[in-house]
A and B are shown apart, each in its own frame.
Chain A
Amino acid sequence: DVKVTQSSRYLVKRTGEKVFLECVQDMDHENMFWYRQDPGLGLRLIYFSYDVKMKEKGDIPEGYSVSREKKERFSLILESASTNQTSMYLCASRGGGPWEQYFGPGTRLTVT
């Protein structure tokens, strides 16, 4: 079974802190994705990566950056957390079929 893990299920941070969300997949997938999920808005793509050190902006990249130094790991960075970044963050990797994505359990981030 494909496994996508995220470093934390719940996280509470203060405004202005630098926040790292980590995602690891164990299936040697090339593509990885970060989404945020908000009620009524579904999933919105923040960034994705199609190879090590390669990244592209998604639909809502403002306030976020990413890092992919190893194929299995894709990190989402909030340089200076703000309250409007309070959300559920989901990581996914692509494999199996052309567009089939496998999701991690999510990290619920609260910024106070």
Chain B
Amino acid sequence: AQSVTQPDIHITVSEGASLELRCNYSYGATPYLFWYVQSPGQGLQLLLKYFSGDTLVQGIKGFEAEFKRSQSSFNLRKPSVHWSDAAEYFCAVGMDSSYKLIFGSGTRLLVRP
């Protein structure tokens, strides 16, 4: 069965430090991959997406993600974290023609001043 794993429940980084959030998926075909961010009390906002082509994709707010087929991964990165990046981050996989998304369990990012 298709699944998405975010192995880190919480991550704490210092402001200005680099960030990498991990995402692994299990899916038989070429996946459609997404990262969403949820600020406290808010809905989800799309950060970036991968459908095909260049495996390094750029998103909003200075985030990027790299698709690695050999590792079934789609890790999210940011070179310098800002305090406003504190939020929960969800990785998701799009599957089949129903347009459903499967979400990971989320990673909560805390930013130290």
Q: Which residues of A contact B (CB under 8 A)?
A: 4, 9, 31, 33, 35, 40-45, 48, 50, 56, 58, 90, 92, 94, 97-106
Interface secondary structure of B, over-half rule:
strand
Q: How many residues of B contact A (CB 8 A)?
A: 24
27 example contacts (A-B, Cβ-Cβ < 8 A) are as follows A4-B43, A9-B41, A33-B100, A40-B105, A41-B105, A42-B4, A42-B6, A42-B106, A44-B103, A45-B100, A48-B100, A50-B98, A56-B98, A90-B44, A94-B99, A97-B49, A98-B51, A99-B34, A99-B49, A100-B34, A100-B49, A101-B101, A103-B44, A103-B45, A104-B43, A105-B41, A105-B43
Contacts of A45 in B (CB 8 A): 100-101
With contacts A98-B51, A98-B99, A100-B49 known, is A42 near B105, CB below 8 A?
yes
Q: Is B32 an interface residue (CB 8 A)?
A: yes
